[in-house]
Amino acid sequence: MTATAIDTRADHDAAGEKVFNDIIARDSRIEPRDWMPADYRKSLTRQISQHAHSEIIGMQPEANWITRAPSLKRKAVLMAKVQDEAGHGLYLYSAAETLGTPREKMTEDLIAGKARYSSIFNYPVLTWADIGAIGWLVDGAAICNQVPLCRASYGPYGRAMVRICKEESFHQRQGFEILLELANGTPEQRAMAQDAVNRWYAPSLMMFGPPDEDSPNSQKSMEWNIKRFSNDELRSRFVGMMVEQIKVLGLDLPDKDVRFDEGTGRWQYGPLDWNEFKEVLAGRGPCNAQRLERRREAHEEGAWVRDAASAYAARQAAKPTTTKAA
Amino acid sequence: MTGGSTTGDDGATAPSSGLHEERAAWPLWEVFVRSSRGLSHVHAGSLHAPDAEMAVRNARDLYTRRNEGVSLWVVPASAIITSDPDAKDAFFESPQGKDYRHATYYTKSEGVKHL
């Protein structure tokens, strides 16, 4: 992804660089009109736009279940959640735009398959219990990842994350409640809940990204105060939370290697299938094609609405100002 | 002084590399929300909309899904005039060293009641 409309002359601005470095050293915030290194801009544009795409694509797996949610209340809750995901996508696109890439470019990169989004949304949502597991595990992992991003050095990103985090905690709680209800239901419901947890556990751990030794961008991102903790650090912290929470559900984590390592002070977990992660990220997951196709369809089939709104706005603007009736 | 939004976007610029579309981008609007009576409108974020009416409606859906506001302002981002970020040191220099503009500068009256 390349950022357009950037003043490249600024790249060699030594004074600008000094100010930038001082701001980062003081752990203060960079704002859109500040000088910033081209790599900082590029890296942030990639991260924020991918994050935005994830929110937008993330609407699909859950929206598919709105008509099948088991009660009117559950439908209302799920609709609110999906609407939130749309909102989160829009906050993030706004933040990314401040770095110079127009929104249309981001949308087009996404539907052309040029942009990435979180691998998690390429897994199928097979049962109602999956909606619970997504809320609890997937949103739980997202929150764990996002809370430190509220302090990201880039002002607009941090502000978007604050708003998102405030809204996100309802997502995780509603998921937990779905699982809790099923776990205390009939044996079939209980089995369905366990099955969903079994399938979503490993993919949600992989949401934190590759292991630290295999995550080349992380180092720079931490130096720039965008990231505050490493992928493995956050993943381990998340496992520790899940270990406690699953006890309340009365279910089991599908990982016999989970234990607290006194030496490192970190939670350990079993091996994750990073080949699967790479395959899904490369577009070869179970639902990649379907998700992108649906997004493309929505964008193209909605074009006439955008055109009509633009035409109406242009016509209104062209009208001579009429004197108002008394 | 330079024109353009506080969030750094100078308003609508039509992207020319459209895969599927060659249409002008909707302008950018900055959104301000008054969270309750008695408080100022505070900048909440921005959005794109074809006109002011749609901008207000979109702002409601995007920034007040949880009763966050009792009133909204939308302002075309291109209409916002900002101080020049490159000249900020000089521009905001005047109050430097003028601590006597703060009550805390006056310490001799410490302990005197209601002062």
Contact A62, A171 (CB under 8 A): no
d(CA A45, CA A3): 7
User: What is the per-residue pLDDT for A287?
Assistant: 96
Share of chain B above pLDDT 90, in %: 57
Contact B8/A at CB under 8 A = yes
Spacing of C-alpha A48 from chain mean position: 9
Q: Which of A130, A131, A105, A123 is nearest to A52 (CA)?
A: A105
d(CA A314, CA A249): 56
Q: Mind listing the pLDDT tens digit for each residue in B49-73?
A: 999 999 999 999 999 999 999 999 9
Contact A76/B at CB under 8 A = no
- Which of A84, A102, A307 lies nearest to residue B25, judging by beta carbons? A102
User: Phi/psi zone of residue A304: left (φ > 0), alpha (ψ -120 to 50 degrees), beta?
Assistant: alpha
Which residues in chain A are closer than 8 Å to B9, comparing Cβ atoms? 32, 97-98
SS3 A128: helix
For A108, the closest chain B residue by CA position comes to B19
> Structure pTM?
0.88
Contact B56/A at CB under 8 A = no
d(CA A159, CA A40): 18
Instruction: Kindly give the parts of chain A with pLDDT less than 50.
Output: 1-5, 10, 326
Contact A108/B at CB under 8 A = yes
Q: Do B66 and A167 touch (CB under 8 A)?
A: yes
d(CA A125, CA A131): 7
d(CA A235, CA A238): 5
Query: Which DSSP letter does residue A30 get?
Result: B
d(CA B21, CA B17): 9
Which residues in chain B are closer than 8 Å to A299, comparing Cβ atoms? 20
Tell me which H or E stretch contains A213.
Answer: none
User: What is the per-residue pLDDT for B89?
Assistant: 73
Q: Do A309 and B15 touch (CB under 8 A)?
A: no
SS3 A273: coil
Which residues in chain B are closer than 8 Å to A44, comparing Cβ atoms? none
Beta bridge partners of B41: B34
Q: Compute the nearest-CA separation of A192 from chain B (Å).
A: 33
Average pLDDT of every residue of chain B: 82
For B26, the closest chain A residue by CA position comes to A310
User: What is the per-residue pLDDT for A322?
Assistant: 59
Between A250 and B14, the higher pLDDT residue: A250
- The interface predicted TM-score (ipTM) is 0.87
Residue A94: phi and psi, rounded to 5, are -60, -45
Tell me which H or E stretch contains B33.
Answer: strand B28-34
d(CA A159, CA A30): 12
User: What is the per-residue pLDDT for A12?
Assistant: 60
